[in-house]
Amino acid sequence: MTSGKVLPAGTTPETSHRFDDLVDAFSRLRDPATVAAFLRDLCTLTELDAMGQRLQVARLVDGGVPYQEISRRTGASTATVTRVAQWLHHGEGGYRAVLKAGRR
């Protein structure tokens, strides 16, 4: 992190600016339908599916489901399950915040 901000890996000034713009865009959206419309305009179906799969994996990891079972249930590779688990437990806290918000 730099100056309290979460930055993407391999950050260049342009990448950092684009990331900030994206974070700002999402932070201004309040209505789930508007968030859905923005995501659909922004991402391919493959990208949306991959992100949704990672969130599903994070929920299962958080629930203590074994990695092989998570892979079987979600279709994610064990490498993806391991990577998501790493970010869930040692990342910036984004997965944890979303999972906590979902339990309210």
Cβ atoms of residues 57 and 76 within 8 Å: yes
Query: What architecture is domain 45-104?
Result: Orthogonal Bundle (1.10)
Q: Report the half-sphere exposure of 69 (CA within 13 A, side-chain side).
A: 7
pLDDT of 13: 87
Phi, psi of 9, rounded to the nearest 5 degrees: -60, 150
More confident residue, 3 or 23: 23
Cβ atoms of residues 58 and 99 within 8 Å: yes
**Does residue 73 surpass a pLDDT of 50?**
yes
Under the banding of pLDDT at 50, 70 and 90, the label for residue 94 is very high
Domains of the chain, by residue range, sit at 10-42, 45-104
